Structure 1
Amino acid sequence: MITYVRTLRDRVRVALLSNIPSDHADAFLAARPWLNDLDHVAFSGRIGAAKPDPASFHHCVTALHAAPADFLFVDDREENARAAQAVGMNGHVFGSRAELAPVVDAWLPSR
């Protein structure tokens, strides 16, 4: 999955929105240095809002200077995907990399 995400960066900006508390964020980043290659990383403990709170999605929209419709939000929880859709993002529930790739490919041509 890491390799797949890295290949996406050649085609689109990539961000991570995670419900990690602030006291775990540094250790999480240290254990996953590839996250530093993303365009934006937002941890709920640092931004003051957790998914599915609309404020968490708005944080990413603002940070990337984009519109909600510019996002394909992917999450393993239906509740979070629906919340992203409610703020105007494209939301998708993640199942597997094999299932996700066609969804991303179908979404990207309009970018």
Structure 2
Amino acid sequence: MINTIIFDFGDIFINLDKPGIDKAFRELGLTEWHNDLNELNQLFEIGKISELEFIEGFQKHLPNASIEDIRKAWNKVLGDFPEYRLDFLQSLKGKYRLFLLSNTDKIHIDHFEHKVGMSFSRDFYNCFEKVYFSYEMGVRKPDVESFKQVINRHDLSPKRTLFVDDKKENTDAAASIGLEVWNLQVGKEDVTDLFAKKIINL
């Protein structure tokens, strides 16, 4: 019987606009997504480089873009957060131990909190026993260490824990250490389908 749920954040609760970020960087003059930008993103997501170092890495390819230009383009990926998903999450509180485990960075989290407002973000965070962001943890999914940190710190039973994520590489990693998983298909499924799809039985 599942008693704990660990949720991803992007495309589970907040919608991501991937075409939007591509368009924003093209408008700044980025013709292709270079490999070093992927590496830069991963380092930023585990807190190994500062915000300024991250932005300066983009400026190597976009010398005419300001710090604010790049920050705004980077935040274009963050879409809306439908309130019905928060309502659903709040309905789970008290019935399950809830955790958030997200690959993210400080620029995105600061923007999210500013965009939705203090009251909404506080209500969201308060649903969880603990919120885990990769840039604070120093590790990111699909590294199994990210899951182990949550399991060990809270004495969770993997077989009684469900992990929900839209990326198969992440759910595969979680399953490899014994967690139950739901690889949510964005556009076809919604986190609110948790019970309708018999992911968890009422």
Normalised by the shorter chain, which TM-score bucket? 0.7 to 0.9
- Counterpart of 1:33? 122
Question: What TM-score results when the alignment is normalised by the length of structure 2?
Answer: 0.47
- Counterpart of 2:39? none
Between 61-70 and 12-21, the greater mean CA deviation after superposition: 61-70
CA 1:26–1:93 in 2, change beyond 3 Å: closer, same or farther? Answer: closer
CA 1:39–1:25 in 2, change beyond 3 Å: closer, same or farther? Answer: farther
Q: What is the CA–CA distance in structure 2 between the aligned matches of 1:65 and 1:3, rounded to whole Å? A: 27
Q: What is the CA–CA distance in structure 1 between the aligned matches of 2:153 and 2:141, rounded to whole Å? A: 16
- Counterpart of 1:44? 134
Q: Does the 8 Å CA contact 1:25/1:43 hold for their aligned counterparts?
A: no
Between 26-35 and 69-78, the greater mean CA deviation after superposition: 26-35
- Counterpart of 1:91? 181
SS in 2 for 1:101: coil
Bigger helix fraction: 1
- Counterpart of 1:105? 200
1:15-46 per-position Cα deviation (integer Å, ceiling 9, x unaligned): 0000012x337524564222331111000111
Q: Does the 8 Å CA contact 1:35/1:41 hold for their aligned counterparts?
A: no
Among candidates 80, 88, 96, match of residue 12 of structure 1? 96
Question: What TM-score results when the alignment is normalised by the length of structure 1?
Answer: 0.81
Structure 2, gaps ≥5 residues long: 1-84
- Structure showing greater relative contact order (alpha-carbon pairs closer than 8 Å, 6 or more residues apart): 2
CA 1:19–1:36 in 2, change beyond 3 Å: closer, same or farther? Answer: same
CA RMSD, Structure 1 to Structure 2 (Å): 2.0
- Counterpart of 1:58? 148
SS in 2 for 1:42: strand
Tell me which structure has the larger Cα radius of gyration: 2
After TM superposition, give the deviation of residue 65 of structure 1 in Å.
Answer: 1.7
